[in-house]
Structure 1
């Protein structure tokens, strides 16, 4: 049985709007960018690999020939790169109406714990801390524009938890565990950003999303290698989504008029695939105590790193 087909989200006219999408060089990210461009949005695409990004822009223009896409350099695993991008955007007063925090890594099949150049566990920095640093640096511009932030999570955020005294998996490392923990941290940040925005009278609208299961992405081979009985692969093929279908929850989060913060994902069986729609939030991510704590921890880590660089 093939996976369920779902109609794409009907997007409004986005001409005159500018959207920044991280992780848009391939996979679900390029499909999110494609959907926004087809609706008329101008794109700012922060990328680590210019060659891949240029190929992605070609794909976007297959369905949106007039798409305007500005490639800018960003490596979320390097805080100097994050700071440089934020400074350039603020200095140029770049119009930003939408930010989609989509980029992420999961190093399945690699048992080695990898560190970023800044000394943080690689999943933790790429998936969470880099996005936190970028978004908070851009807050003045986002507030001025009344922008929307879409935080892209994963099913792993619903079944993972944070170990507060081992946030970077120093004592116990497994790639899927580190990935899930980083997505929980990102979700806590998303809900806390929504609360802080509401507390100061709005300005920023925050929604969260997850793409479900996507057999056609780059992490699929590693997942299949772990699935020795083949059951997971059969379920994913039957119930999961193509990258284009998996982009729909984030696109819905980008344009919905639902009260914020909303949570959107596939509404099919097990939330693996199906039509995009509102789904039940992962309760632990909306905990205000943990959200405030995660924000404070991230700020302290960035401050400590900044102090170390100056020293």
Structure 2
């Protein structure tokens, strides 16, 4: 069995009395696209900083390509590329100059760099912009350049922190097509995102909340972990109904979806049967209902809000 590219064994980080990451264990293999999801403050950034050798773990162990993330952090940093959410390259340098600068920083041999730069320009569709300054590029092209610079030393692992934030749909799709190509070549991709449609594109997803990893599985397995379909209702007026339904004891949560209300409840059929006999909100008109399949936004909500009564244990 091949060694995982990322291996974490009860990795923890405490800041005083605050446990930012709590006994995180995880294995990610070559070529995986791992989506790391969680609310702000859940522990995503601290985890990534430990993996990158920027923060010393309080306890536990982590390795990248077999190297300890702290004890061998200088070696580890040559094993990954990093794409930040905010543009962090040199605006006054051209596209090609940025690539050559980062290649030199990673001590890529000149002959190898001369071969890689044209290949990376072609991969990211930046050949026509090679002499343009980075500061003159559009937001989408800047992220493509950041990705090219992260790949210049040919790492087996990529960390991407909200890589498509602020991009238009065309450049988002272009970025993901590139990630698929890289995954197919065996490069492991560790990505944080707040876009649930992007979580659907990952081969595996992990949910972290208050420092604890709550679940890790494929998007399909996570959606299938719901015990039942979800109840979606049409009512008028919508917003007063949303507020009042939150106070119903059988309703764990409510979200607005395309003008309808999606209810998180353990027994939706029983709730509908009771409401058909007696709808308790006199000023709100019931217009219809249906059962719908959960999506990744529902998975995120269930794990973030602790709606465990609705979920089956993952295999």
Question: Is the shorter-chain TM-score for this pair beyond 0.5, marking a shared fold?
Answer: no
TM-score by length of 1: 0.30
Larger Rg computed on CA atoms: 2
Higher strand share: 2
**More helix by percentage:** 1
